[in-house]
Amino acid sequence: MKNYRERLLDEKIEKKLKSTGGILLTGVRFCGKTTTAMHHAASSVRFDEAELIREQATLVPQIVLQGDTPRLLDEWQLVPSIWNTVRSEIDRRSEKGQFILTGSATPSDDISAHTGAGRIARLTLRTMSLMESNDSIKVVNFNDLFVKNTQIGGLGGIEIEDYAKLIVRGGMPALINETPEIAQEAMIDYVENIAYIDMRTLSAPPTPERIAALMRSLSRNISTESSLEKLAAETGFTDKSPVAASTVRKYLDQLSEIFVLEELPAWKTHIRSSVQQRIKPKWHFVDTSIAVAALRILPNGLLNDFDVFGLFFESMAIRDLRIYADMLDGKVYHYRDSSGLEIDAIVELPNETWAAFEIKLGSTKSIDKAAENLQKLLTRLTPEKAAQCASLNVLIAGASSYTRKDKVNVLSLGHLFV
């Protein structure tokens, strides 16, 4: 494809196409799934273009499977029965790289309940990280943070005002070159469509007004461990129109089904017997542009309230950490224990090596406190788990990266790359 903007996931897509019969590429609407899939596909069919195509795929599915490979089946969940047909066709052909399926929602029935294990690999495309949107100056390699005693350093790049703009603009590929104001106009419509259109694709869809209210509540409580009860109270319109916590939990799951919302789970690890972990998750939208659009916040609004700015910056940092961790097959968690110690992010790799991140805007006082918390974390863990720590890091909205004398790294989010 001409003018294709490369994604970090491209490398994994190519590897999976060489090792499995097909891949399932999921992600929130507008994140670039179709464009990325087209970049790797030799032919395609789009199930969202015409009812006739969906009817053919349902009645005579072999028709839509014919074409040069890899063959893209875009928005496959609109014809859920195609899943098992693709799986059977992969078995029949016994060749690698036959199909790419993309989807922005989980099907409303259980036709695709079969996992496709050994036949179809699953990958998630997120919105663009600062590296992918070329806002990072790429001077600190994320991989180095998982090698003990690596010294890091870098100067320059985006400043605090730029981070405020990037939070509002977000990482949707089609909006990367827009101003924050224009991007937010588009995202306001996007957020409304989530409540009034996207959710209607699910089984037992909720009331759009309830979802819109919940999204505003989640945005106000971004980067926090808000209870279901608190979210329920803020989602109800009046005292006479309450929402049960169990209903809110259902709504959260439904927003996750369309990849708009993603849980940041608590890190469950080996700790000393005197410490109790808290296991409540945090919730983050897949992109900060969704949250700020729900609240109609522009860059000046963030710069005038650094407490709010800090929470939204944390959410953007979590987005990027997830994207970079994906490339190492890592997972991102948060930590909190009974003493009140909280660490914003733990990235753990399959070999159990891990790195910890406190996320701050970047004042000297906040960096010192964050470094102290990171050092405390090591005292909460068993010696074996502490020994698996590769690095302790304070991730900031600044323009300098360096390793402190206490071996804690101070990292600019706008310096990272993979």
pLDDT for residue 115: 56
Half-sphere exposure of 46 (CA within 13 A, CB side): 9
pLDDT for residue 284: 96
What is the rounded CA–CA span in Å between residue 327 and residue 146? 13
Query: Dihedral (C-alpha) 340, 396, 376, 285: value to the nearest 10 degrees?
Result: 40
What is the rounded CA–CA span in Å between residue 169 and residue 387? 40
pLDDT for residue 274: 64
pLDDT for residue 238: 54
Instruction: For the chain, give the secondary structure using H, E and C.
Output: CCCCCCCCHHHHHHHHHHHCCEEEEECCCCCCHHHHHHHHCCEEEECCCCHHHHHHHHHCCHHHHCCCCCEEEECHHHCCCHHHHHHHHHHHHCCCCCEEEEECCCCCCCHHHCCCCCCEEEEECCCCCCCCCCCCCCCEEHHHHHCCCCCCEEECCCCHHHHHHHHHHCCCHHHCCCCHHHHHHHHHHHHHHHHHCHHHHCCCCCCHHHHHHHHHHHHHCCCCCCCHHHHHHHHCCCCCCCCCHHHHHHHHHHHHHCCCEEEECECCCCECCCCCECCCCEEEECCHHHHHHHHCCCHHHHHCCHHHHHHHHHHHHHHHHHHHHHCCCCEEEEEEECCCCEEEEEEECCCCCEEEEEEECCCHHHHHHHHHHHHHHHHHECHHHHHCEEEEEEEECCCEEEECCCCCEEEEHHHEEC
pLDDT for residue 109: 45
Per-residue pLDDT tens over the stretch 87-114: 999 999 999 999 999 998 766 545 444 5
Going residue by residue through the chain, which has 418 residues, state the pLDDT in tens, using 9 for 90 and above: 668 999 999 999 999 999 999 999 999 999 999 999 999 999 999 999 899 999 999 999 999 999 999 999 999 999 999 999 999 999 999 999 999 999 987 665 454 445 566 689 999 999 999 999 999 999 999 999 999 999 999 999 999 999 999 999 999 999 999 999 999 999 999 999 998 888 877 767 788 999 999 999 999 999 998 899 999 988 876 555 678 999 999 999 999 999 999 999 999 887 776 677 777 889 999 999 999 999 999 999 999 999 999 999 999 999 999 999 999 999 999 999 988 899 999 999 999 999 999 999 988 999 999 999 999 999 999 999 999 999 999 999 999 999 999 999 999 999 999 9
User: What is the pTM (predicted TM-score) of this model?
Assistant: 0.94
pLDDT for residue 386: 95
Per-residue pLDDT tens over the stretch 116-160: 666 899 999 999 999 999 999 999 999 999 999 999 999 999 999
What is the rounded CA–CA span in Å between residue 112 and residue 82? 9
